[in-house]
A and B are shown apart, each in its own frame.
Chain A
Amino acid sequence: MSDLLKELRSKIDSGTRISEDDALALFESNDLLGIGELAALVNRNKNGDKVFFNVNRHINYTNVCVNRCAFCAFSKEEGEKGGYTLALKDIRTRAMEAADAGATEIHMVGGLHPDLPFEFYLEMLESIKQVRPQLHIKAFTAVEIDYFSEVAELSIERVVERLKQAGLDSLPGGGAEILGQQVRDRLCSEKISGDRWLEVTELVHGAGLRSNATMLFGHVEQYSDRVDHLRRLRELQDRTGGFQTFIPLAFQPENTRIQGATGVGGVDALKTLAISRLYLDNFQHVKAYWVMLGLKIAQVALAFGVDDLDGTVVEEQIGHDAGADSPQALSKQQIIGMIRKAGRIPVERDTLYNEIRTY
């Protein structure tokens, strides 16, 4: 074991926090197994042998978006060929199908549509709750919340309150990308700033809603940008405790406008998951999002500090438009099999990590 890892091991044993310098040194290290071993230890202390998954359905209600993020292969301009917005009755039908197939959660995000009124979003939530009140609706990134406040000319607090009344139960963690502004200028200059993302998220947590946090990595950022991203999340979590899960997303370069990006290697993907587990000591869960990592790496990630494999996603669009070659949906049996073959205990959870059933 290298000196760095020995030092980190004693920090972990004594409950001392890992510093930004430590995290950076880990990113620069090639000791994949050593980093994995430490992350696995930390995860075991937090979550034992359990690996969580949920049964959910993604609904991407529109791909029309006023932002033109360079990394995105999903968005269309208004009037562009291939642009769509789902009708309320389609959203209702999808929610009913999902619930009847055993889903406990709807994961719903979309583009920033230029014309839809705020009431549309409220109606989406209400109509899902009308037909299947038991579904947990996890919807809208901080970016969308900020946009709604602009569209509705209401404060963030008021927007969140109205959404909550209409049926919003929690928020996913998208739109964080890399929080540092220099990277955002190259990646998504029209999107809200990293500071604003954190501000909106803090208000969401303040309103009593839980959310996740993501990090899109493997494009134009440096390791130091990743560490800075993790630092900002850890600080916010210290204040609010509202984050449930951290989800590093491996950038998919196809059909995007990022020049020269080759995609994330397996070693970088596993290292990033493991380092996140080590640094984000105040996050209970780290998720391997198999849609972007592929099933094999996602399963291997369970030995690198990961305790969550996301859902049995139905109809994922965003990652696949960017060339993800994973299947579009996984059956519950497949996910249970994957977890078992990794020597761990599969636990179906609801969105808030209440255990539904152990397999």
Chain B
Amino acid sequence: MLEKIAKKIEHGKQLTRKDALFLLSEAELLAVARLADNIRRKKHPDNRVTFVVDRNVNYTNVCESQCKFCAFYRTAEDGDAYLLDYQTIFAKVQELVEHDGTQLLMQGGLHPTLTIEWFEELFRQLKERFPRVQIHSLSPAEVIHVARLSGLSMKKCLQRLQVAGLDSVPGGGAEVLVDDVRREISPNKIGWKDWAAVMEQAHKLGMRTTATMMFGSKESPEDIVEHLFRVRNIQKKTGGFTAFIPWTFQPDNTELGGETASGVEYLKVLALSRIVLDNVENIQASWVTQGARMAQVALFFGANDLGGTMLEENVVAAAGCSFRMSKDEVIELARGAGFIPARRTTEYQVLEEY
């Protein structure tokens, strides 16, 4: 079976779900890694490992979705509920710029009263003050929520946000793109088709996006495979995804609780992502959930990118997982594995090699 799959990959033929399931559930870790690494080296023969200098700003933790895997959300009544004002956000972005940052990843809860005007004004003012910072913000769930609160169609909402300054959309909130799983872990969040619809619309409007997957909670191996094929199919239609980012559920302080995925499971899913998503250029390693040692190893399991340096990160940290890395550490990590570290933009243009 493994040889058959290897042949298919060699001849550029698409794998079936059954092939993918075999790789995930039965094949040996290093055999899957080898297939993924070959693809990664073919796609990125420059031997680079890229990263972006960015900051996560979580404008609010008030969220109506209240997903069971999340340790970050609060209700509006909670004592530690917050909504950042513009000045606070500007100060954070100013700090980002002082660190050579180029990407602002702004995400928040599904706030009960923030309508599109709040975001439009914010984006306009951000663009005025920081014209060189890419606004890479609002996941599909937020876009749909803001549209609904504002009485707009999703398309109109995205268009207006884009005009105001939204440059690209991060791929969060994908969790697992299978509604049976979503009903269990995030019953109030949009279904997989809505997630896909926002991404396709963003792509049509000329905005690039990423796609993520959060695994290690309640899904089956079949669900993981389905997720990858759904992302692959969207990409086939639009070509708008720049990168795929699998990461693992972090159980501390969440309603779901339980354990996180093991190291072997993470690397296998990562490698499988590289193999199945032959039409997505970049695969990110998640040092935020895996730690620096695993992220370095991940560079041999299909990953060619280390994501952001994240001057600030709150969501994963709330779930008891608080790895931090400086830009220098990210550079050293890539170099230590024999790669050329390179700082990039959100859209993967290389700015500087180290």
Residues of A participating in the B interface, judged by any CB pair closer than 8 Å:
30, 32-33, 36-37, 40, 262, 264-270, 293-300, 302-303, 337-338, 341-343
Question: By DSSP majority rule, is chain B's interface helix, strand, loop, or mixed?
Answer: helix
Task: Judge if B296 is at the interface, Cβ distance under 8 Å.
Answer: yes
Residues A265 and B296 in contact, CB atoms below 8 Å apart: yes
The one of B262, B297, B336, B338 that contacts A270, using a Cβ cutoff of 8 Å: B297
Assess whether A294 is in contact with B291, with CB atoms less than 8 Å apart.
yes
| Contact A342/B33 with A33-B300, A265-B292 known, Cβ cut-off 8 Å | no
Greatest chain B CB density within 10 A among A262, A269, A293 is at: A262
Known: A266-B294, A296-B263, A341-B264. 19 other contacts (CB 8 A): A32-B300, A33-B30, A33-B37, A33-B300, A265-B293, A265-B296, A265-B336, A266-B295, A266-B296, A294-B294, A295-B263, A296-B293, A297-B294, A300-B264, A303-B264, A337-B262, A342-B29, A342-B264, A343-B264
> Are B30 and A294 interface neighbours, CB within 8 A?
no
Find out whether the CB atom of A303 lies under 8 angstroms from the CB atom of B262: no
Which listed residue, B295, B300, B332, touches A262 by the CB 8 Å rule? B332
B interface size (C-beta, 8 A): 28
| Chain A interface, >50% SS class | helix
| Top 10 closest pairs, chain A to chain B, by CB | A296-B263, A30-B338, A266-B293, A266-B297, A266-B296, A303-B29, A300-B263, A265-B336, A299-B263, A342-B264
Chain B residues with CB under 8 Å of A40's CB are 30
Kindly state whether residue B231 has any CB partner on chain A within 8 Å. Answer: no
11 contacts across the A-B interface (CB closer than 8 A) = A30-B337, A33-B30, A265-B337, A266-B296, A267-B337, A268-B336, A295-B262, A296-B290, A297-B263, A299-B263, A342-B264
List the B side residues contacting A293 at CB < 8 Å: 293
**B30 adjacent to A36 (CB under 8 Å):** yes
Q: B296 contacts A267, CB within 8 Å?
A: yes
Q: Once bound together, how far apart are the Cα atoms of A80 and B37, in whole Å? A: 52
B333 within 8 A of A: yes
Number of A-B contacts (CB under 8 A): 82
Contacting B262 at CB < 8 Å: which of A32, A33, A341? Answer: A341
What are the residues of chain B within 8 A of A303 when measuring CB–CB?
Answer: 28-30, 264
Give the docked Cα–Cα distance between A343 and B266 (Å). 14
Shortest distance between the CB of A338 and any CB in chain B (Å): 6
B267 touches A (CB below 8 Å):
yes
B123-147 interface mask toward A, CB cutoff 8 Å, 1 = contact, 0 = none? 0000000000000000000000000
Residues of B within 8 A of A268 (CB): 336
- B327 is an interface residue with CB less than 8 A from chain A: no
